[in-house]
Amino acid sequence: MTVGAPVAPADAVGADEIVVPAQVGARAVLGSAPRTLADAAGRAVASVGVTGRLVQFQMADLAGRTAAMLRKIEDDAWFGLLRGAADLVRADLASGANAGLLRALSATSGLPLHRIHNGVRTVAADLARMDQILAAQSPDGSVAAYRTGEVAGRRWRWLPAGRSVFVRVPANFPTIVVEWLQALAARRPVLLGTSPADPFTSHLFADALYRAGLPDGALSMAHGDTAALCRMADQVLWPGADPPAEVPPGALKTYHFGRSKAVLTDADPGPDDWARLARMATHGCGRLCTNLSGLAVSGDARAAAEQLARALAVPVLPLDADRALVPAFPARARADELARLIEQEIAAGAVDVTLAVTGVPLRVDLDGLAYLRPTVLLVEAESPLWGMELPFPFVTVAKIPRSRLRAACAGSLIVAVPGDEPDLVEQLAEEPGVDKVFGGADFDHGYDPVDPHEGYLADFLFHKKAVLTRAGPTT
């Protein structure tokens, strides 16, 4: 049997079960009791390998013994290996070799199938240019520093802060795996803990990397309970704000916070800008940390909300439709929970502008799946939903005086400023609670791993150390 391929050759998800093993280095492991993943109708779509603490200890031990080996591989060979893996992923997409696996991901995550394909292509493109991405994060702009620890023109060295890193991978969208791929590209052995809803994307890239020649032990992957693996790693990358309490703060970096916003001053942007703002909300099906979640308007907030609602009037389509952008909720209870949250805010005075503009109800049922249609909600600046990130295209609009825009945007990953507002851009850039500011023609720049994103990952994975090997003058 080919790991990651259907058990039996057929096309319908639910009739073919995908096998996604755990990885102890290059060795695939299913375990004695694989976990079953099901779609919204309860049909089994995948068997996922489960590992106990002893096997996770073997993963961590293997990673620790592999760290020095990775630093000995010449740069051309190392980045050539990564490019080779990217080529394998793209070839598999073109041939349909992973079609069953990606259909299973759509069924368990509720993501439209063609958006999954686009996301995987994006990650493959980033994997192919990891030398550029890592060079931007290096102290001297060279990838050699990751291998040698030496920094041109400096007496100090840039050395790994650990031998292994545990990365918990969320299930929001396939492009999030670029986080652990960057860590691996920096020559750090990676221990992966996948999300219950998406073991597929990490498996797809892990399989390609080992086929391309990745050294055994450079990457291990566990599904389900990974508490032991998390404790044994030297460093931990954890998505969101609730990392395990037992991880020491110095060994922990959190990532994947949302809270991206846009700011409109009195000037009304043109029609093209409204379309671009809408794309900021729908890119990644509304499940990316860079998605627009709040619009601060110093002028007519109701008029702005109506313009955005028209631009964001994206139809709910089946997940296999070519133009589908709206994700489904495989767990109907989750859709109901979010709908009630929004409905409570409407009962408290918020305005469902999308309903007023389009007449489409918030809750949509299609092909037995629960959806929430793209939503623009007009709220007060003090609303608990202002700027809240929800896992579908959802934007709150609030009227905020120009004098308070900087304070209102504190705690944002990205703040986008359409129009010609250089002074406002500078004010927002000086706000410590804002990570990125994009203005003018580049206001919808979005995510590029060459840019700092909640800081550079390499700043966490490496430490600057003074290391002197020559004896000084004697007296």
User: How confident is the model at residue 2, as a pLDDT?
Assistant: 36
- DSSP code per residue over 415-439: EEE-SS-HHHHHHHHT-TTEEEEEE
For residues 215 and 279, membership in a common domain is answered with no
Is the per-residue pLDDT at 204 higher than 80? Answer: yes
Residue 298: C-alpha distances to residues 217, 262, 266, 381, 397 (Å): 54, 11, 6, 11, 11
Is the per-residue pLDDT at 155 higher than 90? Answer: no
Measure CA 19 to chain center.
24
Is the per-residue pLDDT at 469 higher than 80? Answer: no
- Strand 292-297 vs strand 44-48: parallel, antiparallel, or unpaired? unpaired
- DSSP code per residue over 254-295: EE----EEEEE-SSPPPHHHHHHHHHHHHGGGGTSTTSEEEE
Express the helix, strand and coil content of the chain in percent, nearest 5 each: 40, 20, 40
Alpha helices, DSSP H only, in 359-421?
405-408
User: How confident is the model at residue 454, as a pLDDT?
Assistant: 87
> What are the start-end ranges of the E strands in 266-353?
292-297, 328-329, 351-352
- Find the mean pLDDT for residues 341-368: 97
User: How confident is the model at residue 16, as a pLDDT?
Assistant: 57
- Over residues 11-39, the pLDDT tens digits come to 333 345 799 999 999 999 988 789 999 99
| DSSP element (H, E) containing 300 | none
For residues 231 and 141, membership in a common domain is answered with yes
For residues 245 and 278, membership in a common domain is answered with no
* 450 belongs to a structural domain: no
For residues 104 and 179, membership in a common domain is answered with yes
Residue after which a domain boundary falls, among 226, 255, 284 = 255
* 47 belongs to a structural domain: yes
Is the per-residue pLDDT at 106 higher than 90? Answer: yes
* 473 belongs to a structural domain: no
For residues 78 and 158, membership in a common domain is answered with yes
474 contact partners, CB below 8 Å, separation of at least 6: none
Q: Are 276 and 443 in contact (CB under 8 A)?
A: yes
| Lowest-pLDDT choice from 30-44, 90-104, 185-199, 355-369 | 30-44
* 455 belongs to a structural domain: no
Per-residue confidence band for 4, with pLDDT thresholds at 50, 70 and 90: very low
For residues 120 and 237, membership in a common domain is answered with yes
* 140 belongs to a structural domain: yes
Token readout for 380 is 């007060």
Angle between helices 113-128 and 178-185 (to 10 degrees): 20
- CA atoms in the 13 A half-sphere facing the CB of 253: 22
- What is the per-residue burial (b if ≥16 Cβ within 10 Å, else e) of 6-31? beeeeeebbebbbbbbbbbbbebbbb
Is the per-residue pLDDT at 217 higher than 90? Answer: yes
Is the per-residue pLDDT at 241 higher than 80? Answer: no
111 contact partners, CB below 8 Å, separation of at least 6: 105, 173, 174, 285, 287, 319, 327
Residue after which a domain boundary falls, among 255, 286, 306 = 255
| DSSP element (H, E) containing 375 | strand 375-378
Is the per-residue pLDDT at 474 higher than 60? Answer: no
Bridge partner residues of 191 (DSSP): 166, 220
- CA atoms in the 13 A half-sphere facing the CB of 448: 12
Q: Which amino acid does the sequence have at 424?
A: L
- Strand 351-352 vs strand 375-378: parallel, antiparallel, or unpaired? antiparallel
| Percent of the chain whose predicted confidence (pLDDT) is above 70 | 95
Is the per-residue pLDDT at 171 higher than 90? Answer: no
Looking up residue 313, the CATH number of its domain turns out to be: 3.40.309.10
Per-residue confidence band for 286, with pLDDT thresholds at 50, 70 and 90: very high
Per-residue confidence band for 472, with pLDDT thresholds at 50, 70 and 90: low
- DSSP code per residue over 24-38: ETTEEE--SSPEEEE
For residues 76 and 214, membership in a common domain is answered with yes
For residues 334 and 376, membership in a common domain is answered with yes
Structural domain containing residue 424:
260-442
Alpha helices, DSSP H only, in 157-255?
178-185, 200-211, 227-232
- For the chain, the straight-line distance linking the first and the last C-alpha, in angstroms and rounded, comes to 72
For residues 434 and 301, membership in a common domain is answered with yes
Angle between helices 130-137 and 113-128 (to 10 degrees): 60
Q: Are 88 and 127 in contact (CB under 8 A)?
A: no
Task: Find, among 141, 467, 443, the residue nearest to 265 by Cα.
Answer: 443
- Find the mean pLDDT for residues 340-350: 97
Q: Would you say how long the chain is, in residues?
A: 475
For residues 87 and 235, membership in a common domain is answered with yes
Token readout for 101 is 């696996």
* Total of domains in the chain: 2
| DSSP element (H, E) containing 258 | none
- Find the mean pLDDT for residues 279-291: 94
- Find the mean pLDDT for residues 199-219: 97
For residues 283 and 157, membership in a common domain is answered with no
- Find the mean pLDDT for residues 69-82: 97
CA angle 351, 352, 355 (to 5 degrees): 140
Q: How many CB atoms lie within 10 A of CB 357?
A: 17
For residues 288 and 157, membership in a common domain is answered with no
Question: d(Cα 195, Cα 199) in Å, to the nearest integer?
Answer: 6
